Chains A and B, each alone.
Chain A
Amino acid sequence: MELFLQQALSGVATGGIYALMALALVMIFQAIRHLNFAQGEMAMFSTFIAWQLLAWGLPYWLAFVLAVALSFLGGALIGRLVFLPIRNAPVLSHIAVFVALLLIFNSLAGFIWDFSIKPFPSPFGTAPLFGGLIGAHQAGMLLVILVVVAFLFWFLRFTRIGLALRAAAANPESARLVGIKVDRMMALGWGMASAIGAVAGIMIAPVVFLEPNMMLSILLYGFAGAVLGGLSSPGGAVLGGFIVGVAENLAGTYVPVVGHELKLPIALFLIVAVLVVRPEGLFGRGTVERV
């Protein structure tokens, strides 16, 4: 029983990271109707920026806030300078640009900070909490994730700019007709997604260690979470991320053949299964409409 609780809780904690990645993916999917394959590498690059700021001697939380803010700006710039000009281009052009961004960020990180594996500090420490049920870093990470998700929910649901952002994503032409600056909203969506990814990268780095390929499998789990929850629903994507985290951990513990090696294929299997059986995801809103 204790092993089960331990594994489930630890699954919730890593699931939170998948949830953030899923959320970032959904924010951009809502804005441009494409899945950002470079989301993981962008998050990795943000994490390196945080590492660099720490190496320069900045206090942890200042480095955290600065890295997230810089990521927001960088994401907004990418949206504005790269994706706005190609917004009407076909899917393949987008995929080419995503792959290019992925490779650029990956090699740039390797070039600037080299490919060696670096430890990344945790502000919460490693002490076991609640009689060893959960580690201090996992608990702190979960808290940060919940704060980010709660803030985003409030922002999108209850602020006017959140309403404008959702309207610009749902129907750009109608949004323009009420005076919303749709291009600016698109940049805002990119910036927010990039900032969310930065939080995920900085929080998971003490666990997986820092190196240019650190986000590869995490992004796949994020994809699985986003697809499972539904690409049209930020809340669903968050839940999907948590579900994937718990399922992955429990399967790795209790299903002998899965073990550690087969954890990742579970995520891929999940993506395929959801797309075949229920393409709109568990919580994707099939909007009701009169015809």
Chain B
Amino acid sequence: MTTLLKVRGLEASYGDLTVLRRLDFDLLEGGATTLLGANGAGKTTTLRALTGMTRRSGEIVFDGTSITRMSTEQIVRLKVAHVPEGRGTLTAFSVEENLKLGAITRPSGREIAADMERVYGHFPVLKARRRQQAGTLSGGEQQMLAIGRALMLRPRLMLLDEPSFGLAPAIVAGLLEMLDRVRREDGVSLLIVEQNVELALGIADHACVLETGRIVKAGTSEAIRADADVRRAYLGY
């Protein structure tokens, strides 16, 4: 597998407060990697730094192109979809408009309508509520909409910030299974931030453990799951 995203010496800070200290990691094309760590370890900031939503320095190379100095809009146009913390739903817009916005950078045409049907195929409840204001959806439905909107970009890489947040376990299992299917069928690479370590290691093939802005461990999911420190700190056994 080839490297899709190469991160070297990534740093990010809010004012005087340094949040990320020289992160190095690679994402493989078609792979799924998870970022693990406690609250405040810098997981969300890592995602925000990757898509230019936070001031950052270092080197980020996506598919051979340096994106370190690019704006969020430019990075998204390279087919990097970021499902942010809080889901980024446009609450006053209808479900369908939210999905259309996901594909707003693509040339208009029949493919977009076909992709919308595909998203509705993944999440039939969204089709039933297509004309409804997105703010009236339940938490699970809004997460489906956020993922659906990201898929409308036809992404090569999806960044997901705590897709399980606030959702019932059955819904989370469904979402993750769907993401895994997208990865296998469409070759979409995934970078998932999760608090639920068990879930995250279930879907990811690689994992990085962040502690106060540093990567303290990285490896395959099996290796991380077997690691004694990780078990004690995050899995509780």
Mark A residues whose CB is within 8 Å of B: 160, 163-164, 166-167, 170-171, 173-182, 285, 287-290
Query: Could you show 21 A-B contacts with beta carbons less than 8 Å apart?
Result: A160-B100, A163-B100, A166-B93, A170-B92, A171-B88, A173-B53, A174-B88, A175-B101, A176-B71, A177-B53, A178-B101, A178-B104, A178-B105, A179-B77, A179-B153, A180-B101, A181-B73, A287-B135, A288-B135, A289-B136, A290-B136
Which range holds the interface residue count of chain B? Answer: 20 to 34
State whether A178 and B92 are in contact (beta carbons under 8 Å apart), knowing that A163-B101, A290-B135 are contacts in the complex.
Answer: no
Mark B residues whose CB is within 8 Å of A: 51, 53, 71-73, 76-77, 82, 84, 88-93, 97, 100-102, 104-105, 108, 133, 135-139, 149, 153
Contact B104 A180 (CB under 8 A): yes
Q: How far is the CA of A11 from the CA of B47 in the complex (A)?
A: 56
Chain A, Cβ-Cβ closest to B137: A290
Contact B133 A287 (CB under 8 A): yes
State whether A177 and B72 are in contact (beta carbons under 8 Å apart), knowing that A160-B104, A164-B101, A170-B93 are contacts in the complex.
Answer: yes
User: A182: which B residues are within 8 A, CB to CB?
Assistant: 73
Q: How far is the CA of A163 from the CA of B229 in the complex (A)?
A: 49
Max count, chain B CB within 10 A of own CB: residue among A166, A179, A181: A179
Chain B, Cβ-Cβ closest to A288: B136
Closest 9 CB pairs of A and B: A179-B105, A179-B76, A289-B135, A174-B88, A176-B72, A287-B92, A178-B101, A179-B77, A181-B73
Contact A177 B93 (CB under 8 A): no
Q: How far is the CA of A178 from the CA of B79 in the complex (A)?
A: 10
Given contacts A171-B88, A288-B135, 6 further A-B contacts (CB under 8 A): A171-B90, A174-B89, A176-B76, A178-B102, A178-B104, A288-B133
User: B77: which A residues are within 8 A, CB to CB?
Assistant: 179
User: A164: which B residues are within 8 A, CB to CB?
Assistant: 101, 104
B126 to chain A, nearest CB (A): 16
Contact B153 A178 (CB under 8 A): yes
Chain A, Cβ-Cβ closest to B79: A179
State whether A176 and B92 are in contact (beta carbons under 8 Å apart), knowing that A163-B104, A167-B101, A290-B138 are contacts in the complex.
Answer: no
State whether A177 and B133 are in contact (beta carbons under 8 Å apart), knowing that A160-B104, A160-B108, A163-B104 are contacts in the complex.
Answer: no
User: A288: which B residues are within 8 A, CB to CB?
Assistant: 133, 135-136
